[in-house]
Amino acid sequence: MDRELTVREKIELADDWIAAVKRLNNKNKVTYLGRRRKDVNPVKWESIVHADGLDVCPLCGQPFCGKHQMHYADCPCIGPNEDDVIYHEDGFRARRIKNEQID
């Protein structure tokens, strides 16, 4: 004969079920909405910008970044020889270090 579960047994079963769902969600990296979780801090590589590849400012003759509409010296683009930058091994991409710990 089947007996009715006690409150304690129901709580234990619920806890086991919740733990199983959490393990499954962590394994599949799923949020509570069922969407795939994106990385918290994805690595964003940017192209390295060289001054000789830019247009020249018609007023002063200095390299001018058309993307940011400012002189290359003031532009936030990553150049080939900057501090606080990690360069990708392909030599064409880099990213800034923002409070990252390098292992």
Do 1 and 30 fall into the same domain?
A: yes
pLDDT of amino acid 60: 92
pLDDT of residue 103: 45
pTM for this prediction: 0.52
Total count of domains within the chain: 2
Q: Is residue 102 part of a domain?
A: no
| Inside any domain, residue 63 | yes
Looking at the fold, whether 50 and 86 belong to one and the same domain comes out as yes
Same domain for 14 and 32? yes
What integer pLDDT is reported at residue 56 of this predicted model? Answer: 92
Same domain, 1 and 32: yes
DSSP collapsed to 3 states, the chain: CCCCCCHHHHHHHHHHHHHHHHHHHHHHCECCCCCECCCCCCCCCEECCCHHHCEECCCCCCEEECCCCEEHHHCCCCCCCCCCEEECCCCCEEEECCCCCCC
Give the per-residue pLDDT at 26: 65
Q: What is the mean pLDDT of each run of 10 residues along the chain (103 residues)?
A: 80 83 65 51 81 90 92 92 88 79 48
Let me know if residue 22 belongs to a domain.
yes
Read off the tokens for 21: 């769902």
